[in-house]
Amino acid sequence: MTDPLFGRYRDAELSVLEQDAVRWLDGFYQLEHLFAAREWAIMLTDGTASEALKFAALLHDAERFFPGGPSDTPRSSFDDADYLFRHSTRSADIVGDWLAKRPEGVDLAFARRVRALILRHEIGGDPEEDIMQAADSLAFLSTFDWLVVDWVRKGHYDIAGARAKLDWMLARIRVPAALRLALPIYARTVAALEDPRGMTVDLALRRRQAGSLSYLTGLAAAVV
């Protein structure tokens, strides 16, 4: 059976800057989620997403690839302001530093807007920042059914604790069109979570696939 994830983003039409960015994050288990967030941002804007929005969606969780940040399985509530601030600020700082070191230089207005969007990806703000937040939620709900099950199997959370994350990702969506799209995806992900032993995929392999740039773009069929 063909895996629908294999080559899922081969036609993502990334800019040169975005191509370099995903190579930088190759091996990050959230890479699929980041591709999906960019895709949702484009969809929610009917194809008119700004370059800054597309780039911010693609990089918004970058800090979790680098040791030293807040845990991605926090013991506080998922809407804890201190946690959200630390995560968003660290991502914005890391991405901003990467952009600043680009040898060809990056437009300052673009870099500032990318930073603002990443800082706001958890809480929303102006209309574009609300799209950023909604794209993140949709991407989480549509790509991380395996992750919330993995949380339960590894004992990070019980089912109710993991569902709280799904509930939060749905409840925070402010964009009506995004909420309509999210509701059936949320229902499917909750159903998978509530029967965590029913998911038969190899979760360790699924994590590696989700972080493999070559697998996601169809350049290599095998992930070891």
Which tokens belong to 176? 């009506």
Helix or strand (DSSP H, E) at 181: helix 176-193
Q: How many CB atoms lie within 10 A of CB 150?
A: 20
Specify if 127 maps to a domain: yes
Specify if 5 maps to a domain: no
Nearest-angstrom CA–CA distance, 167 and 156 = 17
Q: What is the pTM of this model?
A: 0.95
3-state DSSP assignment of residue 43: helix
pLDDT band at 65 (very low <50, low <70, confident <90, very high): very high
> What percent of the chain clears pLDDT 90, i.e. is strictly above it?
88
Angle of helix 31-44 relative to helix 16-24, nearest 10 degrees?
150
pLDDT digit string, tens, across residues 189-219: 999 999 877 888 899 999 999 999 999 999 8
Specify if 97 maps to a domain: yes
Specify if 63 maps to a domain: yes
Specify if 31 maps to a domain: yes
pLDDT digit string, tens, across residues 111-129: 999 999 999 999 999 999 9
| Domain carrying residue 144 | 16-216
CB 193 within 8 A of CB 211: no
Comparing CA positions, the residue from 33, 2, 22 lying closest to residue 210 is 33
CATH number for position 156: 1.10.3210
pLDDT digit string, tens, across residues 66-107: 999 998 888 888 889 999 999 999 999 999 999 999 999 999
Specify if 4 maps to a domain: no
